[in-house]
Amino acid sequence: MRVTTWAEYGLIVSLHLAKEGGETPTPARDLAEREGLPGDYVEQILLKLRRAGLVKSVRGAKGGYFLAHDPQTISVKDVMEAAENRTFEVYCDAHRVNLSRCGPNGDCSLRPVWRELQRRIDEMLSSVSLADLMRQESEVEALVAQ
């Protein structure tokens, strides 16, 4: 079980824009270079974030991207879902290995485990905002420890 670069980079990029603040657009290429990320790839990710309504873009010279909302109103989960389409995929939902077990009428004691896991992951990721991430690592550590 792992997080992809879509989510990881998506968060780095969003966080960068959050720190930038305001509505002055930052070009994708500048952002990528300053974060040490592949430029073309960052562009793809910003496109996804824009389609999800998390960032806004300005085209043409002097254009770029800026955050669409207040960092406090954007959660880690929001960014991950925008970048990765999902936070956690329940296997048996996607691949019905055995219909008599995985179907709606089946009885599979594993399903509740995955569902609950998904719930807790989402809960955790929803509870952290971009504003939270603008602090020092040590502060975030304290904040996040329940």
Residues that bind a copy of itself (CB under 8 A): 1-5, 8, 11-12, 15, 35-37, 76, 84, 86-92, 94, 97-98, 100-101, 107-117, 120-121, 124-125, 128, 132-137, 140-141, 143-146
User: Measuring CA to CA, which residue among 51, 52, 26, 50 is closest to residue 39?
Assistant: 26
Q: Is residue 28 at the binding interface for DNA, with CB under 7 A as the rule?
A: yes
**Which of the residues 35 through 54 are near DNA (CB under 7 A)?**
38-41, 43-44, 46-47, 50-51
Q: How far apart are the first and last CA of the chain?
A: 22
**Which of the residues 59 through 98 are near DNA (CB under 7 A)?**
59-65
Tell me the CA distances in angstroms from 67 to 57, 96, 117, one per residue in order: 9, 39, 30
CB–CB of 19/134 below 8 Å? Answer: yes
Nearer to a copy of itself, 46 or 76 (CB): 76
User: Measuring CA to CA, which residue among 63, 5, 76 is closest to residue 29?
Assistant: 63
3-state SS assignment for residue 109: coil
Nearer to a copy of itself, 9 or 65 (CB): 9
Least distance (Å) from a copy of itself to the CB of residue 40?
15
Least distance (Å) from a copy of itself to the CB of residue 61?
29
- CB burial of 62-80 (b: ≥16 within 10 Å; e: otherwise) equals eebbbbbeebeebbbbbbb
Nearer to a copy of itself, 5 or 57 (CB): 5
11 binding partner (options DNA, a copy of itself, none; Cβ < 5 to 8 Å by kind): a copy of itself
